[in-house]
Amino acid sequence: MKKFLIIFVLVMCFCGCSFEKELSKEEKLQKVLSEKEYIVIDVRTKNEYDSGHVVGSINIPYDEINENINLAKDKPILVYCQSGRRSSIAYTALEKLGYEVFDLGAYATVSLEKE
């Protein structure tokens, strides 16, 4: 029994198993927002973007996000649109391309500074 316990403890140590709580998606987003090191993409049309957008955001319509997109992968990406439908599509596309991405949903509910 003593050998089993020692082996179990050693296996747990060498597995790299962690007993720390993993952050939820919302907690990760709050951490990203507090660090202020992210890229914001408005996935609406140019006309929608021109009518008002998040300060510092870039406009890339959701249907233009594909394997040819060239964004830095060292910063998380935040996406939003008018209602949340297009940002959900962009979120999925960017995630498949290997980006760390967060869907902020509808423009009206985004809490970042707007212009």
Eight-state DSSP code of residue 97: T
pLDDT of 7 higher than 60: no
- The reported pLDDT for the residue numbered 20 is 53
- The reported pLDDT for the residue numbered 111 is 93
> In angstroms, rounded to a whole number, what is the distance separating the alpha carbons of residues 15 and 74?
27
pLDDT in tens, 8-60: 544 555 555 545 568 888 899 999 889 989 999 999 999 999 999 999 999 99
22-109 maps to CATH 2.60.40.10 = no
pLDDT of 4 higher than 70: no
User: Which phi and psi angles does 6 have, rounded to 5°?
Assistant: -65, -45
- The reported pLDDT for the residue numbered 1 is 57
Contact 62, 81 (CB under 8 A): yes
pTM, rounded to two decimals: 0.78
Contact 72, 41 (CB under 8 A): no
Contact 40, 78 (CB under 8 A): yes
pLDDT in tens, 59-114: 999 999 998 899 989 999 999 999 999 999 999 999 999 999 999 999 999 999 99
* Residue ranges of E strands in the chain: 39-42, 58-59, 77-81, 101-106
